[in-house]
Structure 1
């Protein structure tokens, strides 16, 4: 709607998993490197923690793109973790073998089926299964964690036959802490924190450049205001910037200043108060 007015090729602040718009902050780079190290080193597992809107799912999407572009790995992405232990294991099987396991299969038989038809077959195919559990803090049944931990018992020649990556919000830490054996297997841990003021500026500039911007749209004071109201949360930055561009278009503004950002931010906050 406002793209032509601001000389943009597309909307720069959509809250979608488009990795073209992924800003590589220092924390993102470190978190990605740790997860990648876990995968390439055939480690048992890793955990990534971040508040809502911190960019965990975007990082996860970038990781999946990389895995899908490599024949060395077999990515298994579970984005809906509110499953029973049996459903979790069936989902792993279905994603890897493209068929569903027998409907009434017993839990132990299912684990043996995974061992034979997924893990050892993948090893023979020179592919390493990587199970990514997004929004893992939403796992309700503690037995899910136990069953996934048991899968790490499958090893060959001193290496795990799969890698588990748990990605979620801080409550995930409390759940993992209840399971000492699983916690010990998740030796690689990282956290995505909020962006600081300087990173917010770079984030906004980067996303605008991807969308085709060649001029300064947001004033320095506007960026400072965005940083304050968004608290450095990428999803909130997107919301504020998107509405600021829309409001600026409506007012035929030449630039987005702090006053406009303040107005937009207050309007967004009013909706939830």
Structure 2
């Protein structure tokens, strides 16, 4: 609605995991680097945590797109809140399994066959589990741990990436054997004041606007009220652009940010 008014080609602050809009803050670069290191060095299991809306899912989708399809066979689990057998069957399906068995033993046989076929074809097998903190049944984590037992004497046949909110750490640590299998852990912190300003400028550039649009005081106000959480930054900035458009403003100042926050909070 407001794109052409502000000289934009697309909305810059949509809360969707579009890799085009990934702002490579030092924190996000480090998180992505650790995920890639875990995959390329076949570390077995990697865990990335962060508060709601800090960019974990976007990192996961960016990683998914970056992994070369001729070198990696990757399954992306968006919602792991399911029974252990259902999760195993879903992973097998995402990795290319055709005839899907109904009992666990046969599903595990199928998964082992897929992993060995990938190895033969020169491909690594990667499973990305987003929202892993939503797993309710501890048996699910035990089954994930057992997948890591599918290995050769000198290497893992599968790399599992767990992405989730901070409570994921306690859930994983409650299974001591599984916790010990997590080779790499990284916590994604919120953006700083400076990074928030750079984040907003980056998304505006991707959306087609090179000139500054938010006043410095507006940027500081957004950081203060968002806590540096990208999802919240997007909500405030998007509403501010809409309010500014409706008022025919020339730029976004602190007053518009305040109005946007009031609109969002009711």
Shorter-normalised TM range: over 0.9
Alignment map for 1:142-157 (pairs within 5 Å): 142-157=138-153
Q: State the alpha-carbon separation in 2 of the partners of residues 91 and 166 from structure 1.
A: 16
Q: 1:139: Cα distance to partner?
A: 0.6
User: C-alpha offsets along residues 203-234 of structure 1, whole Å, 9 cap, x if unaligned?
Assistant: 00000011111221100000000001111110
Q: Does 1:31 align with 2:27?
A: no
Q: What residue in structure 1 maps to residue 40 of structure 2?
A: 40
Q: What residue in structure 2 maps to residue 72 of structure 1?
A: 71
Q: Is the 8 A contact 2:97 2:110 kept in 1?
A: no
Alignment map for 1:55-134 (pairs within 5 Å): 55-67=55-67, 69-103=68-102, 105=103, 107-115=104-112, 117-134=113-130
Q: State the alpha-carbon separation in 1 of the partners of residues 33 and 145 from structure 2.
A: 23
TM-score (norm 1): 0.95
User: C-alpha offsets along residues 126-154 of structure 1, whole Å, 9 cap, x if unaligned?
Assistant: 11110111000001111111111111111
Q: State the alpha-carbon separation in 1 of the partners of residues 91 and 99 from structure 2.
A: 10
Secondary structure class of the residue paired with 1:48: strand
| More displaced 10-residue stretch of structure 1: 34-43 or 69-78 | 69-78
With over 3 angstroms needed to count, the CA separation of the structure-2 counterparts of 1:109 and 1:257, relative to structure 1, is: same
Q: Is the 8 A contact 1:73 1:127 kept in 2?
A: yes
Dislocated runs of 4+, deviation >6 Å: none
RMSD: 1.1
Q: Is the 8 A contact 1:93 1:100 kept in 2?
A: no
Q: Is the 8 A contact 1:22 1:58 kept in 2?
A: yes
Q: State the alpha-carbon separation in 1 of the partners of residues 210 and 100 from structure 2.
A: 53
Q: 1:269: Cα distance to partner?
A: 1.7
TM-score (norm 2): 0.97
| More displaced 10-residue stretch of structure 1: 94-103 or 156-165 | 94-103
Q: What residue in structure 2 maps to residue 202 of structure 1?
A: 198
User: C-alpha offsets along residues 153-197 of structure 1, whole Å, 9 cap, x if unaligned?
Assistant: 111240000001100001111110101111111120011111110
Secondary structure class of the residue paired with 1:32: helix
Q: 1:98: Cα distance to partner?
A: 4.1
Q: State the alpha-carbon separation in 2 of the partners of residues 214 and 77 from structure 1.
A: 34
List runs of 5+ in structure 2 lacking aligned partners: none
